[in-house]
Amino acid sequence: MLCEVSQLPNFLEKKVIVRGWVGHKRKSGKIRFMTLRDGSAVVQLVFSADELSDGEWASFSELKQESSVVISGVVRNEPRAPGGVELLVNSLEIVQIPEQHYPVTHKEHGPDFLLTHRHLWIRSRKQAAILRIRHMVSRAIRSFLDEQGFVETSTPILTPNACEGTTDLFTLPYFDLGDVYLSQSGQLYGEALAMALGKVYTFTPAFRAERSKTRKHLTEFWMMEPEMAWYDRDMTLELIESLIKHIVQMCLDRCESDLHVLERDTSALRNILAPFKRMTYKEALSWLNERGRALNFGDNLGAEDEVLIGESHEVPVFITGYPAKNRAFYMKLDDTDPDVVLDMDLIAPEGFGEIVGGSQREEKLDVLKSRLKDHGLPQKPFEWYFDLRRYGSVPHSGFGLGLERTVAWICGAAHIRECIPFPRMLYRIQP
Ligand code: 4AD
Ligand code: MG
């Protein structure tokens, strides 16, 4: 019976067929061992001359790393092997043997070499584990929001105007209509959709032409953006907190072996099931200044500040109430303190930085228009967006969760480039 490697423990003492790629081989007396990977898991294969034809026995020695093969054998209990089982092989069919040695070996390679070979690097155990966890994070987000009655919808990638500010837009010519931009965020369209459908979310690529060369920045990343009519900032904080807990719980429950492959300290992930820490921007300034920084109201919190905050707390930290002048035009001013907005950033523990950013939206047309002007943005392209305030404007809120940053934190990955199949960064567009 054809079987996926991950299912082998359910077929003890049965004869099965598995298909996959050769890992490493070793000899021990008259026995030969080999690992086989099929995408679902890795299994140890045991070859002995008694079980195979002479031809098959001879062809074993020709197998190189990443040769593709079809194997049949009997599943045996072997607590010392990965997955707790091994396969005693009784037939070996070779599909293809590489002509050259596989470039990504088990020894250490530099990041540049690995990124150039990203199309092959994704086959390695840790990279595949990260990509499976990435899938689980997406599933967790969808299952959580779907359960709560959100509608998944789509917003355009080609857009006529900026959403987050004009400094980091990718521009491209669009027929006779002039320049258009790759979307930085689907939010403005998300707001229109929330007025049509109530509670919505989108899951799209977002593009930022930032010249940031850090372990947290991609020029193309995936963002999940919920937008909710009638939600205020506090309801949104509650929603984000339950969502993040659900994501982490689902990864702990269903990705145990992948987290193990990544040597992730899962106790750090379990800690976040406690209530999240909340501090205002002003409290964050005092907290940071007590620790040797010299920040004034209006200063941006830099990456090092976020790391310091994140490393000093076991749970994620919400920072709310940033200065209005530093924040996007659509964020609602706080009636009790108009110098700040009703926003939130969520800082992951262990120094992984900001994973979520969002706010309550300004629902008053006149305030919105003057905020847009303060930001030096033209009014005309936003006329359609103003309509949302002209026709039945209601309080509403939303946020964006960066998929790769969330995955990097859950996996404990050193760099965001490992958390997307084919990363796009300042100096990297290949493969
Ligand atoms: O904080 P940001 O810029 O917020 C927005 O775009 C809002 N319009 C979202 C909304 O309210 N609907 O981005 C949201 C998240 C960040 O917290 C971060 O996780 C991720 O997107 N992000 C990036 N991830 C990777 N590389 C980059 N260059 C990123 N920029 C933002
Ligand atoms: Mg942000």
The verdict on 25 and 125 lying in the same domain is no
The verdict on 175 and 87 lying in the same domain is no
Q: What long-range pairs does 57-61 form, CB within 8 A, spacing at least 24?
A: 59/92, 59/94, 60/25, 60/32, 60/34, 60/92
Cβ–ligand 1 distance for 358 under 6 Å, the answer: yes
The verdict on 142 and 207 lying in the same domain is yes
Task: Look up the CATH number of the domain holding residue 80.
Answer: 2.40.50.140
Cβ–ligand 1 distance for 221 under 6 Å, the answer: yes
CA–CA separation, 206 and 204 (whole Å)? 6
Task: Look up the CATH number of the domain holding residue 142.
Answer: 3.30.930.10
Average pLDDT, the chain: 95
- Cα Dmax for the chain: 85
The verdict on 291 and 367 lying in the same domain is yes
Structural domains in the chain (count): 2
pLDDT for the residue numbered 424? 97
pLDDT for the residue numbered 193? 98
Neighbouring residues of the ion ligand 2, judged by CB less than 5 Å: 357
The verdict on 141 and 85 lying in the same domain is no
Residue 426 included in any domain: no
User: Counting Cβ atoms within 10 Å, is residue 399 exposed (0-12), middle (13-18) or buried (19+)?
Assistant: buried
Each residue's pLDDT tens digit, 332-342: 999 999 999 99
Cβ–ligand 1 distance for 400 under 6 Å, the answer: yes
Asked which of 96, 126, 145 is the last residue of a domain, the reply is 96
Helices (H) and strands (E) in the chain, counts: 13, 18
pTM for this model (two decimals): 0.96
The verdict on 302 and 232 lying in the same domain is yes
Residue 113 included in any domain: no
Please check the confidence at residue 29 and state whether its pLDDT lies above 90: no
Structural domain for 393, as ranges: 118-419
- Protein residue closest via CA to atom 18 of ligand 1: 402
The verdict on 148 and 211 lying in the same domain is yes
Please check the confidence at residue 165 and state whether its pLDDT lies above 80: no
- The DSSP letter of residue 431 is -
Cβ–ligand 1 distance for 404 under 6 Å, the answer: yes
Closest ligand (CA of 423): 1
Cβ–ligand 1 distance for 187 under 6 Å, the answer: yes
Q: Which among 220, 222, 223, 360 is the best mutation to test ligand 1's pocket, defined by most ligand atoms within 8 Å of the CB? A: 223
Residue 406 included in any domain: yes
- Confidence class of residue 105 from pLDDT cuts 50, 70 and 90? confident
Residue 108 included in any domain: no
Please check the confidence at residue 407 and state whether its pLDDT lies above 90: yes
Residue 371 included in any domain: yes
Dihedral of CA atoms 86, 90, 95, 98 in degrees, nearest 10, equals: 60
The verdict on 134 and 218 lying in the same domain is yes
Each residue's pLDDT tens digit, 286-324: 999 999 999 999 999 999 999 999 999 999 999 999 999
The verdict on 220 and 351 lying in the same domain is yes
